[in-house]
Amino acid sequence: MIQLTEVSKSFQKKLAVDRLSFSVGKGEVFGFLGPNGAGKTTTLRMMTGLLQPTNGEILINGMNISLHKKNLHAQIGVVFELPNLYARSSVRDNLILFADLYGVTSNRVIEVMDSLQLLERQRVRVDSLSKGWKQRVLIARALLHKPKVLFLDEPTSGLDPNSAALIREYIKIIKTEGTTIVLTTHDMHEAEELSDRVGIMHAGRMVALDNPQSLKNDYGKAEIETEYWQDGEIIKTSWPLADEATKDHIYQLMTSGQMISLHSKEASLADVFAVLTGSELS
């Protein structure tokens, strides 16, 4: 569905995206991870035709986005990083404008508002809405014309856990309808929960790309966490699951009756992220 080949983007001298190649299949949810400034938004903007790549080519549905912009724009929806709505207009007017431009019926507008529980607030001015509600309006706007591909740039950032969960559930529903989805996030659980595959970007490069489980197998370290008595004190220790010596430690603790508790702790995507992107701020 989406195919990037050797895509680069530089701003003046700075190389923001460096020879990116990957593809996203039809109906797939692709999660983009990476530290601040890694180049996620820049890549998304190139995929949606808002930025021209310095090098390389991007195909959506077999068509080059630079050459078939308007044709492809009819097939994609974008939820932007910033809530770029008309602040002085109501929820409804914001949606009606784009519905008119896309040639979408007013029934569809009501349907989309209904699915995001926006009907009650449709007459409210957007600048008086909270962040979570603005995000719903953004999603509604992106879905009006039933796009085949949906891009979401940090759809849950800054939202309370309930609003974020609601939006995640909604994204899952869109996925079941067969929409191809590309999303960026800083929330590792979210990436894992939603994505079929995850790409981790660092300093403009794609440093890993696979399904979450394989990434954890490859880069994460599963551990065994134990609590045990030693000289009248409770000690907590973790040992790598894969290590030969671990079983001896455990055996010894269990036979001596020192063991209090024993948990296996599987590797998380956050571990993978830390390994691949380092801890330094970029």
Partner 1 sequence: MNNVLKLTQHEFRDLLRNPSIIILVVLPIFMSKVIITVMDQSGLNFMLLSTWILFAQVMVGIMITGPGLIEERESKTFDALLISPLSKGQIIVAKGLTVLILSLLSQTIVFLLNYGLSWAFWPSLLYMILGGIVFVEMGIIIGFLVNSSQNGSAVSSAVMIIFFLVVTVYEALPNWTYPFFVAWPSIEISQNLNSILKGDGLLLMESLLLPLWIVGLSLWISRIGEE
Residue from 100, 225, 243, 266 that binds partner 1 (CB under 8 A)?
Answer: 100
**Three-state SS for 98?**
helix
Residue 53 contact partner, candidates Mg ion, ligand ATP, partner 1, none, CB within 5 to 8 A by sort of partner: none
Closer by beta carbon to Mg ion, 41 or else 90? 41
Decide if residue 40 touches ligand ATP (CB under 6 A).
Answer: yes
State which residue, 35 or 220, has the beta carbon closest to ligand ATP.
35
Which residues lie below 8 Å from residue 92, measured CB to CB, with a gap of 6+? Answer: 109, 113, 122, 123
How many residues are recorded in the chain? 282
Contact 246, 224 (CB under 8 A): yes
Find all residues with CB under 8 Å of 41, minimum gap 6, and list them.
Answer: 81, 153, 184
State which of residues 16, 33, 143, 149 lies at the interface with ligand ATP (CB under 6 A).
16
> Which of 33, 42, 143, 273 is the binder for ligand ATP (CB under 6 A)?
42
Instruction: Determine, following the binding rule CB under 6 A, whether residue 202 of this chain makes contact with ligand ATP.
Output: no
Q: Does 85 bind partner 1 (CB under 8 A)?
A: yes
- DSSP-derived secondary structure letter, 90: B
Residue 264's identity, in one-letter code, is S
Structure tokens at 232: 């009248």
Among 68, 73, 175, 186, binds partner 1 (CB under 8 A): 73
Identified binder of ligand ATP from the candidate list 4, 31, 39, 190, rule CB under 6 A: 39
Among 22, 98, 170, 239, interactor with partner 1 by CB under 8 A: 98
Please give the order of strands across the beta sheet that includes 259-265: 233-240, 223-230, 259-265
Among 21, 23, 55, 84, binds partner 1 (CB under 8 A): 84
With respect to Mg ion, which residue has the nearer C-beta, 92 or 202?
Answer: 202
Q: What is the distance between the alpha carbons of residues 263 and 227, in angstroms, rounded to a whole number? A: 9
Query: Which of 17, 41, 135, 202: binder of Mg ion (CB under 5 A)?
Result: 41
- Measured from the CB of residue 262, what is the shortest distance to partner 1 in angstroms? 52
Instruction: Decide: residue 107, CB within 10 A, 0-12 exposed, 13-18 middle, 19+ buried.
Output: exposed
Cα of first residue to Cα of last residue in the chain, in angstroms, is 31
Quick note: the x/- pattern for partner 1 over 30-49, rule CB under 8 A, is: ------------------xx
Rounded to the nearest angstrom, the gap between the alpha carbon of residue 88 and the centroid of all alpha carbons in its chain is 30
Distance CA 31, CA 39 (A): 14
Least Å distance, CB 96 to ligand ATP, is 30
Phi, psi of 162 (to 5 degrees): -70, -45
Site residues for partner 1 per CB under 8 A: 48-50, 70, 73-74, 76, 78, 80, 82, 84-89, 93, 97-98, 100-103, 141
Instruction: Give the footprint of ligand ATP on this chain (CB under 6 A).
Output: 11, 14, 16, 34, 36-42
